[in-house]
Amino acid sequence: MFPNLNPWTTFSAAFVIALVVCNRMTPPVKHFAERIGAMDIPRDGRRVHDHPIPRMGGLAIIVGFFLSVLLFMPVSDKVYGIVIGAFIIAGMGFVDDIVSLRPTVKLVLQIFAALVCVRFGLVIDAVSWPVTKTYLDLGWWGAPITVLWIVLCTNAFNLIDGLDGLAAGVTSICSFFLLASSILFSTAEPAAAIILTALIGACLGFIPFNFNPAKIFMGDVGSQFLGFILATAAVLGHFKLQAVMTFALPLADTGFAVVRRLAHGQSPFQADKGHFHHRLMAMGLSQKQTVLVLYGVAAIGGVVSLWLAGRGAVIRTICIVAILITLLCIAVLVFIRNPRRARARQLKKLEREHEQEETEEEN
């Protein structure tokens, strides 16, 4: 709609519109979710909240994102495929947040949405290795690999949505590093850059309502939508290996979840408390600390992706410094400024002193 704007004006406007619209739409979406009974009730031990919280906040993200994208994004067949597929995913998530669809039904609809994208020409046709600068033409394998990639990312970002602000924050970080790569190295199509800019804005507009203590959850309508958009934007922008490194946290979490469940004789669709965020909280971290640590891990993946794409000593040096600073921040959060671990150590000390006193009295 505004094709004559320069790139920086377009990016800035797309970001601001997505952020403001999402932020302003979240309160009415919260009220709507409460009216129709779309509430997340803590019925099992996996939940970390202790009272019903409305979900379906992803609707605000979707509205802010699409309003921004449709205003500024150049139209093509691939873009049409992404938009149609995204509406399929959003519709499925909307229904799932109300009636809880069966996992197999959701998987079939995810595959269908991915096939729509492939039908409109969004296909991974080749992969490259930046170290040797060699390319592998995928041929007819490109279509099934694209479908697998989209479905995998859609579920990965859905599974990581287990703590307040986690999915929205990780999505913002992943989008930022892919956008930075496209700007620094001129690797992406303009449409992919606008998609990523709008996604960052929409997520940041939602986080004030979703960060701990959350007033609303994004629900499946939000988390699956985010994963689908990131997956398709990565294909559209020809990121490939950079996207794999940037999405390392949610992809690894999903991979471990599937292996863990199969090893225990469970269905890969069966929920459990073995995700990375559950394990960090079991170590004694608070919910906020856990989310911040995982933000740092996601950022490290993004920095590594820039490292792989970098073509100069300056960029590689900046990446190393950024990784070291992030690791230092994580170490401080986990091992130094961790009140839960301090309280646990104090309790163990008191228990030992009490046991010693009882032993002395018996003697």
Q: What gap in Å lies between CA 329 and CA 207, rounded to an integer?
A: 21
What pLDDT is recorded for position 186? 62
CA–CA separation, 103 vs 292, rounded Å?
30
What mean pLDDT is predicted for residues 336-363? 57
Please say if the pLDDT value at position 342 is more than 90. Answer: no
Q: Which two tokens stand for residue 328?
A: 């230092």
340 has a pLDDT exceeding 60 = no
Using CA atoms, how far apart are residues 110 and 105, in angstroms rounded to an integer? 9
> 77-81, 204-208, 256-260, 332-336: lowest mean pLDDT where?
332-336
- Judged by DSSP in three states, 231 sits in helix
From residue 185, give the alpha-carbon distance in Å to each of 176, 178, 239, 361: 14, 11, 11, 73
> Tell me, what DSSP letter sits at residue 50?
S
Distance CA 92, CA 151 (A): 14
Lowest mean pLDDT: which of 134-138, 154-158, 232-236, 359-363? 359-363
Per-residue pLDDT at 335 exceeds 80: no
Decide the pairing of beta strands 39-40 and 134-137.
unpaired
Banded model confidence at residue 267, pLDDT cuts 50, 70, 90:
confident
pLDDT band at 310 (very low <50, low <70, confident <90, very high): low
Write the pLDDT tens digit of every residue in 90-111. Answer: 999 999 888 888 889 999 999 9
- Give the tens place of pLDDT for each residue, 197-227: 999 999 999 999 998 888 899 989 999 999 9
Question: Which pLDDT score is estimated for 240?
Answer: 73
CA dihedral angle for residue 232, residue 238, residue 244, residue 250, rounded to 10 degrees: -20
State the pLDDT at residue 226.
Answer: 95
Q: Which letter does DSSP use for residue 2 in this model?
A: -
pLDDT higher than threshold 80 for residue 56: yes
Q: Is 333's pLDDT higher than 60? A: no
Residue 172: how many other CB atoms lie within 10 Å:
23
165 dihedral zone (left: phi>0; alpha: psi -120 to 50; beta): left
- In this prediction, residue 95 carries a pLDDT of 92
User: Which amino acid, 190?
Assistant: P
Mean pLDDT of 25-52: 78
CB neighbours of 128 closer than 8 A, spacing ≥ 6? 134, 135, 136, 240, 241
Tokens 């990446």, residue located: 319
Q: Which stretch of DSSP H or E encloses residue 127? A: strand 126-129
First to last CA, the chain: 87
Q: Which of 172-181, 216-225, 260-269 has the lowest mean pLDDT?
A: 260-269
Greater model confidence, 79 or 241? 79
Identify the residue with better confidence: 363 or 196.
Answer: 196
Residue 71's pLDDT is what? 87
Q: Return mean pLDDT, the chain.
A: 82
**Cβ-Cβ contacts under 8 Å for 178 (sequence gap 6 or more):** 188, 192, 196, 230, 233, 234, 237, 239, 242, 243, 246, 302, 305
Find the mean pLDDT for residues 315-339.
61
Read off the pLDDT of each residue in 130-145 and give the average, rounded to a whole number.
75
Can you tell me the distance from the alpha carbon of 136 to that of 254, in angstroms, rounded to the nearest whole number?
Answer: 26
Percentage of the chain surpassing pLDDT 90? Answer: 34
pLDDT at 359: 62
The reported pTM is 0.83
pLDDT confidence bin for 295, thresholds 50/70/90: very high
What letter would DSSP give residue 238? T
